Amino acid sequence: MNKADVVIIGGSVAGIQAAISCRRRYPQKRVVVIRSEEQVVVPCGIPYIFGTLGTVEKNLVSDKGLEKNGIEIIKDEVVEIDRERKVVLTARGDTLGYDKLVLATGSLPLELPIPGLDKENVFLAKKDVPYLQRMLDAMDSVRDVVIIGGGFIGVEFADECRKHPSFKDGSVTVVEVLPHCLELVLDKEFCQEVEDILRAGGIKVLTSKKVEAILGDGKVSGVRLADGEELKADMVIVGVGARPNTELAKKAGLEIGPTNGIRVDWYMRTLIDEDVFACGDCIEKVSFFSGKLSRLMLASIATSEARVAGANIYGTCYRNCGVVGVFSTMIGERAFCCAGLSEAAARKEGLNVVTAESSAPDRHPGEMPGATRTKLKLIFCKEKGLLVGGVASGGSSVGELVNLIAACIQHSVSAYDIALFQMGTHPCLTPSPVVYSLVDAAELAVKAMQPPIPKV
């Protein structure tokens, strides 16, 4: 029988990372990735196909990374895992034996429980190249699009659709059920900024509105809101989240948790089979902060888990730390990011928080070409002064600023530590050293903590 040492099911973010991390640590092992699709799409790049990139081909993951690392690729769907015999069976009728197995089967878009989802020109954010090509082709002959969901995926689709020649001012509409777009991840003042930019770009933003039905006779003609209002649309894009893809795992008798993800331990081993690991969107996740179950699914989380899984396959190397959560997006010319907990999320968790804000250009002097004002809010836990979150808007530099914040959170860094960070500065590259946003906000937080917490 054809047998590999390590078989990884799934060839997207988690599958690729798990395979590479495994080969790095165990170079003598035969590692095989099996994936359903012929070509893998860059999931985070999907909205950009419809505006900035303009084609699906420009948003594909190259197989070179796997090939360069000596990892074999099989393009076929796994339909069954026989854990007794340690083999996987594929849709084409092939079998492949394994010594260790990694499930990285990802997620599927959530489908709203509303009538009309099956109508022509209703699309979901599917990670599927031929489907995305059909969606792009369909966009050429539509005039009005309604996007259901004002989270990251929805607002990115709206911003990108507006760049597509089919759409004019007022023909792209976002409908969000919460009072603000991005409310689940950003604090309200940042959400307001996002909505202002979308509206200034000619996009209609309807908040506190629920889509009740998708209308049309075969082909979509509009949507009906819960208050009875009808919006004209010849295309609808649903971007309301994702659910773990766990059918295969369920069939194989692996344990599934309350969020429908595959249950794993801190080392990415499934709970009932020590030779089967799982990582990425398909697993059950817990919050770094509270240890409670988390429904966040992000490429940053998937790759971190995949590194743990890949390296731990033949011996424990890493322990997963739970979900920190780092979001970034760009709306118009402005970036919006959050690492860890927003102020609202921290308060909801019952934390006693101190916040501090700093705003400065990301070059110095502010007249330097390309300088953009950064607005940063840091959130600290008052008891120990530990950083639990950061929310920022600004130029592209805030993408890495929140990554630095995420690293600080993950390593329990306090306001006192950050206030004394020796950050390198240069006029062309960074803010001024005296108003370096991260350090400046931390110093303000130290001052705001009453009574002052002594540095230990």
Ligand X SMILES: Cc1cc2nc3c(=O)[nH]c(=O)nc-3n(C[C@H](O)[C@H](O)[C@H](O)COP(=O)(O)OP(=O)(O)OC[C@H]3O[C@@H](n4cnc5c(N)ncnc54)[C@H](O)[C@@H]3O)c2cc1C
Residues that bind ligand X (CB under 6 A): 9-15, 34-37, 40, 43-44, 46-47, 77-78, 104-107, 125, 127, 153, 245, 248, 280-281, 297-300, 302
Name the CA dihedral angle for 418, 302, 134, 48, rounded to a multiple of 10 degrees.
10
Closest contact distance (angstroms) between CB of 444 and ligand X is 29
Asked if 209 and 154 touch (Cβ cutoff 8 Å), the reply is: no
CB nearer to ligand X: give 242 or 381: 242
Cα–Cα nearest to 4, from 33, 37, 40: 33
Whole-number Å distance between alpha carbons of 67 and 73: 8
Q: What is the rounded CA–CA span in Å between residue 373 and residue 348? A: 29
The region that residue 202 occupies, defined by phi over 0 for left and psi between -120 and 50 for alpha, beta otherwise, is: left
For the chain, give the longest Cα–Cα distance: 69
Least gap, CB of 423 to ligand X (angstroms): 25
Q: Shortest gap between Cβ of 142 and ligand X (angstroms)?
A: 19
Closer residue to ligand X in complex, CB, 29/295: 295
CB of 445 to ligand X, least distance (A): 27
**How many residues can be counted in the chain?**
456
Minimum distance, C-beta of residue 330 to ligand X, in the bound complex (Å): 10
CA separation (Å) from 360 to 201, 338, 455? Answer: 25, 18, 27
Residue 234 · residue 217 · CB < 8 Å: no
Burial of 121 (0-12, 13-18, 19+ CB in 10 A): buried
**Comparison of 135 and 408: residue with beta carbon closer to ligand X:** 135
Mutual orientation of helices 299-312 and 13-25 as an angle, nearest 10°?
30
The least CB distance from residue 53 to ligand X, in Å, is 13
The rounded distance, in Å, linking the Cα atoms of 84 and 321 is 31
Q: Between residues 104 and 211, which has the closer beta carbon with respect to ligand X?
A: 104
Q: 239 vs 431, which CB is nearer to ligand X?
A: 239
Minimum distance between the CB of residue 314 and ligand X, rounded to whole angstroms? Answer: 22
Q: Compute the least distance from the CB of residue 75 to ligand X, in Å.
A: 9
Our CB check for ligand X shows the closer of 51 and 280 to be 280
Q: Is the peptide bond before 365 cis (omega within 30 degrees of 0)?
A: yes
Q: Which is nearer to ligand X, 154 or 361 (CB)?
A: 154
Which strands, in side-by-side order, build the sheet including 230-232?
A: 211-217, 219-225, 230-232
Residue closer to ligand X (CB basis): 251 or 384: 251
CB of 29 to ligand X, least distance (A): 20
By C-beta, is 309 or 381 nearer to ligand X?
309
| Residue number, nearest CB to ligand X | 106
Would you tell me how many other CB atoms lie within 10 Å of the CB of residue 219? 11
Tokens 């020109």 belong to: 121
